Amino acid sequence: MTPNLDQLKEALAAARQEIAKVIIGQRDVIDKALIPIITGHHALIEGVPGVAKTLLVRTLARVLGCEFGRIQFTPDLMPADITGTHVFNLQRNEFALIKGPVFTGFLLADEINRAPAKTQSALLQAMQERQVSIDRETHPLDPNFTVFATQNPIEYEGTYPLPEAQKDRFMLKISMNLPERDDELTLAKRMLGEDSPEAALASGAVRQTLSAGDLAALRGQLALVVVRDDLLGYIVDIVRASRRHESVLVGAGPRATQALLLAARAAAAIAGRDFVTPDDIKAMAAPVLDHRLILRPEFEIEGVSVVEVIQKILQQVAVPR
């Protein structure tokens, strides 16, 4: 694929259309899920059970031609259960590497906060460098390696909060809300027939629109989306304002600036434009900053949410004309 923004627009439109055959009424979630993939980053997905978090990632892997792997995080999960380990082969009289589930394309880290920090940190090197070290040997991962980690926002018993260093590795947080009544009614009707979302995915009704090799070319085409200098300053001012806000204990770091820039660029491409607007930046500010900000305890006690603080920050920062 040669650099051509039309190809990028067509590829994204086709992918969105196929994913929507399975994921009902979650158009905004689908768009946000495509952003970390085409920018080479990772995403944290938050939602109550039953809103199709796992199904979303499986569908993304099918449509984009990538291998899918899943890890169910539990308190007794060990780092070697994620990365793999060397096992002695008696027939060959040597140690052989048994690769863990991290050796895949799209990895679903289900309920990542169920495992202790030692196990959670096993993903850090993989997420940052796309390689893992096993018994002092470094092994490369798939170039398209993308982690989608899920969390349940209402159940905290028996969970371990993600370390700040690991949360910062996630480009954005995707919130999957309960469906609207019409969408839930459509889902109920489909379950009565043979075209339920799970059946559609299993039957092959969802077609593959790209190959794994095409994704690298798509990422290169994002460079064709123009970002004006004043919008770069707008992004930097938003992130810096998060560090000075009265209700914020710990603000966003430089990695958030990079993430907001790339996310806004990808959002513009998904919308079919070759330029970024202030609205793209505003739309991506909450997903990018939500999991990175830590509020002061007195504001948390008053029930102030991080999203509310982000909205106030956006109101305070001057928007370029």
Ordered structural domains, the chain, with CATH: 1-224 (3.40.50.300), 225-321 (1.10.8.80)
Task: Please count the other Cβ atoms lying within 10 Å of the Cβ belonging to residue 239.
Answer: 25
Please say whether the beta carbons of 171 and 43 come within 8 A: yes
Please say whether the beta carbons of 96 and 60 come within 8 A: no
Which parts of the chain sit beneath pLDDT 50? Answer: 1-3
Tens digits of residue pLDDT in 2-49: 446 888 889 999 999 999 999 988 999 999 999 999 999 999 999 888
- Give, as one character, the DSSP assignment of residue 31: H
Please enumerate in sequence order all residues whose Cβ is within 8 A of that of 254, keeping only pairs 6 or more positions apart, or say none: 239
Please say whether the beta carbons of 295 and 306 come within 8 A: yes
pLDDT at 142: 92
Between CA 69 and CA 301 the distance in angstroms is: 39
Q: How far is CA 246 from the centre of its chain?
A: 29
pLDDT at 197: 85
Tens digits of residue pLDDT in 138-185: 899 999 999 999 987 766 666 777 888 888 999 999 999 888 999 999
**Among the listed residues 200, 175, 151, 189, the one whose alpha carbon sits nearest the alpha carbon of residue 23:** 200
**Among the listed residues 34, 44, 43, the one whose alpha carbon sits nearest the alpha carbon of residue 13:** 34
- Confirm whether pTM is higher than 0.85: yes
